[in-house]
Amino acid sequence: MKTFNKSALIIILIIVFLLGACQRNRQYSHLMAWRAENKKIGTWVENYTEAINSADIERILSYESDDICYYPSNQPFFSGKENLRKWFISYFNYFSPIESFSFLDFKVYGDFAYVIGKYSLKGRIKQTGEEFRDNGKFTDFFNRQSDGNWICTQSIWNSDNRIFDIHSQILDDFSGTWILDLSQSITLPGIISSKLVITQKGNNLNITRTNEIKDKATEKCSFNYSIGSETQNLLKSGIFTTTSTLSSGKQTFTINEILISEKNGTKQEFKRTTVYSLTAKGEILNIVSDDILPKVSATQPNKGHAEMIYMKF
């Protein structure tokens, strides 16, 4: 009986030992799996950071799913790679950023994972050279791909410091060829047709206007504007000052032009205010222009007004 008890005790001890060993092996396996996934996610963050800091948009997009959902700070939600591409194009045209990221939490559930972390950002506005800094937090969600790598499906972030969105300072896309709709416009007399060609990089625009005028030669002129800045030039006719500002959101900007000259010892001032705005999801360009001319006589009008509607070609 004593021999049986000793044998049973030995067997029980062996079973307990084996179970403990199995448990340790499972824990070790889980730890190694966690480390492997942590390394993959870490590699994703490193690659993404390199792509951001080199302004490589296509590389950035390669780490995002086709239906990526993006929740930027103080901006409406949007989805899809094409919309994200447009977002980054405007971002890099306007800013030169350097970003870094750090993990706060990381969890994997099968083929799903999420990362919570912090970001820091520094850079400068290209057109002014103004430097800025920001920091905040983010949450990214991932799906595991068939090759075992992770791809981001949702990204949510917000700033700790800024009550406004950096992108709110960047114009929407005004670029393209625009054709005047005479039937809906109030224009200067004699205009038969008008075409605008706008090229844009961030808040820097070149606007080339070609007007066909009845019984006159075709008029063509070109203007350069940096929205959010003021320029002053000394011309033969006087001092010409141009001020450009974002008016009410990213879809509208205003150009104020003032020419101060002198004639026969009398100061003269010409003013023009032109408002450009996009409607119909960027397919219609509305231009409203008001002129104040030097007063020549009490009977001659010294104001001009035009409302032009251009359709995207």
CATH topology of domain 176-312: Lipocalin (2.40.128)
Q: pLDDT tens digits for 34-51?
A: 577 778 888 888 899 999
Quick check: 272 and 257 in contact, CB under 8 A?
yes
Q: pLDDT tens digits for 205-256?
A: 999 999 999 888 999 999 998 887 888 888 888 889 999 887 766 788 899 9
Q: Is the pTM of this model over 0.85?
A: no
Residue 163 to residue 112: CA distance in whole angstroms: 32
Residues 6+ apart with CB under 8 A from 268: 238, 260, 261, 262, 294
Domains 36-168 and 176-312 share a fold: no
Q: pLDDT tens digits for 58-109?
A: 999 999 999 999 998 877 889 999 999 988 888 887 788 899 988 888 888 8
Domain edges within the chain? 36-168, 176-312
Q: pLDDT tens digits for 142-197?
A: 999 888 888 999 999 888 876 556 666 677 789 999 999 999 998 878 899 999 99
Residue 217 to residue 247: CA distance in whole angstroms: 35
CATH topology of domain 36-168: Nuclear Transport Factor 2; Chain: A, (3.10.450)
Q: How many CA atoms lie within 13 A of 287 on its CB side?
A: 23
Residue 263 to residue 266: CA distance in whole angstroms: 5
